[in-house]
Amino acid sequence: MSASGTAATEQVEHMLRQVAPGRHDAYEQLLHALAAADVRMLLWQGSPGSPDAQYGNMEVDGFGYAPCVTSDQELAASGWNRGHELASGLEIARALYPDRWGIWLNPHAPGGGVGIPWADLRRIATGLDRMPAGPLRLSEPAVEIPQFYALLTQNAHRTPAVRSLRRAWVQPALGSPYLAIGLDLYDSSPGSVEAVRTMMRQTVGAVPEGLPVSTVAMSDGYDPVAMWLHAHARPFYDRDAHAAPAAPHAPAYGYPPAAPRPY
């Protein structure tokens, strides 16, 4: 192993010893270290690179994890007597998160090791600085900014690519809270994406100074903010509902229409 690889492994193992309940800062440093290090994935069957190679698996609180160890020393300490595969943290993150699998580091260690859920593997795969640190606390926004919402709704109506808009207040485990705008588009073609970027540039000037605003694609089935918005937030702009004709008056459910009154 190269000197840089050894240093990365040592940093992972150092941060593993620092992680504890409530220590979100230490956990975040562990993720950064893991992105630059190699891990040894434990194979339940097969050999590295073979078509029948299969990672081990374990389930914790209903979520799946593939067990791995952080170094040759930890591999020896684990007593694992089957095969293993050397992979970079970045490589394994990209391979596992799409199937919603995480990894569990050193499950043999005192205390049981540390699990990295698939949502954090996704952050490693796509860039830790591009996505908020979890776990996230999400809620309806309490901040009153009617001018911004009015202008955003107006500009969205003028942008044919936009189907609907939703909003959430996001409190990351680390960093400042921010307003998230969920963008539901009819398609994700380059032209549509650029039109929506223009819409946001034209609107963001109405945001009060110091209030961070971010956007999230509602089509992203892995983004925790988008998932929360789908489950808990109704659109504050909905083009389809806006364009729908008024429904004719109908009899109350379960009752026939009133009979004409005889004269």
Domain containing 109 equals 3-130
Residue 260 pLDDT > 50, yes or no? Answer: no
Q: Are 163 and 210 members of one domain?
A: yes
Strand pairing class (178-185; 213-217): parallel
Q: What is the pLDDT of residues 174-226, one digit of tens each?
A: 999 999 999 999 999 999 999 999 999 999 999 999 999 999 999 999 999 99
Residue 37 lies in a domain: yes
Q: What is the pLDDT of residues 143-163, one digit of tens each?
A: 999 999 999 999 999 999 999
Q: What is the pLDDT of residues 114-126, one digit of tens each?
A: 999 999 999 999 9
Residue 173 lies in a domain: yes
Per-residue pLDDT, 253: 27
Q: Residue 65: give its domain's CATH number.
A: 3.40.1350.90
- Rounded CA gap, 60 and 115, in Å? 9
167 half-sphere exposure, CB direction, 13 A CA radius: 18
Q: Residue 215: give its domain's CATH number.
A: 3.30.300
- Rounded CA gap, 30 and 53, in Å? 28
Residue 160 lies in a domain: yes
Q: Are 34 and 85 members of one domain?
A: yes
> How confident is the model over 226-239, as a mean pLDDT?
96
Q: Are 124 and 166 members of one domain?
A: no
Residue 256 lies in a domain: no
Residue 250 lies in a domain: no
Q: 112: which DSSP letter?
A: -
Per-residue pLDDT, 106: 97
**pLDDT bracket for residue 3 (50, 70, 90):** low
Last residue of a domain, one of 115, 130, 145: 130
Residue 249 pLDDT > 50, yes or no? Answer: no
Last residue of a domain, one of 130, 150, 183: 130
Tell me the pTM.
0.82
Q: Are 157 and 104 members of one domain?
A: no
Q: Are 12 and 120 members of one domain?
A: yes
Tokens of 220: 């992203």
Any idea which residue has 């808009």 for tokens?
165
Q: Are 44 and 120 members of one domain?
A: yes
Q: 244: which DSSP letter?
A: S
Last residue of a domain, one of 91, 108, 130: 130
Per-residue pLDDT, 254: 29
**pLDDT bracket for residue 251 (50, 70, 90):** very low
Residue 263 lies in a domain: no
Tell me which amino acid residue 198 is: T
Number of domains in the chain: 2
Q: Is 184:255 a contact under the CB 8 Å cutoff?
A: no
